[in-house]
Amino acid sequence: ILSFGFIAWYKGTDWIIQAIDEVKRKHHLKSRDIQLVLAGGPNPNHEDKEYYQKYIKGIIRECRKAGFTLTGFVPEKDIPLYFKACDLVVLPYRTFMSSSGPLSMTFSFKKPFLLSPKLRGVLETSDVKELLSQLKLRQEDLIFEDFDKDFGRKILRLKKNPKLLHKIMKLARELSEKRSWNVIGQKYYEELLN
């Protein structure tokens, strides 16, 4: 499982560590069964703030304790390695403050994903709704409602159901194609000419 981007409270970095550790313990899973990679490091715009330093230290401590991987800053040339290696991208956001770079990358790398309820609006666009219908997917397949019970259920369901994982991957691939610059740029160009 990959969680990508700067470490941040609003992105739910601490939540996902606790939630996956809980799933592993509750279901007696080993590290080879489920692994979390937090690919990203501290946000340089906040590193000088005491509360943020404390948050980062807590993240490092909890990752070590749970045996999860915290990469630190990922150079642009290495980003594809993390996306290609993962089976699932989770975006555990507590709040949705702006467009999500990690979600866009998830689509670009055509990876299956699971979203927190705060990102539900991403699934409300006409292109996503159309694809959900075509692929016979429901929003509930892509969103976990809470970290207490539903998150674990969704993770285990995806782990045991490769067909569903493949459908979600197909959704990401289709979105990547529909939202590519070649497609969007052509539409923009045609609009300008009208």
State pLDDT tens for residues 1-52.
999 999 999 999 999 999 999 999 998 988 888 999 999 999 999 999 999 9
Would the pTM of this model clear 0.85, i.e. be above it? yes
Angstrom CA distances, 29 to 24, 43, 92, stand at 5, 32, 21
Task: List the structure tokens of 168.
Answer: 């979600």
Average pLDDT of the segment spanning 125-146: 94
Which residue has better confidence, 154 or 32?
Answer: 154
- pLDDT at 147 (0 to 100): 83
- Give the integer Cα–Cα distance in Å for 117 and 95: 9
Taking the CA atoms of 60, 66, 67 and 71 in sequence, report the sign of the dihedral they define.
negative
> Are the C-beta atoms of residues 34 and 1 closer than 8 Å to each other?
yes
- Give the integer Cα–Cα distance in Å for 167 and 165: 5
- Give the integer Cα–Cα distance in Å for 171 and 122: 13
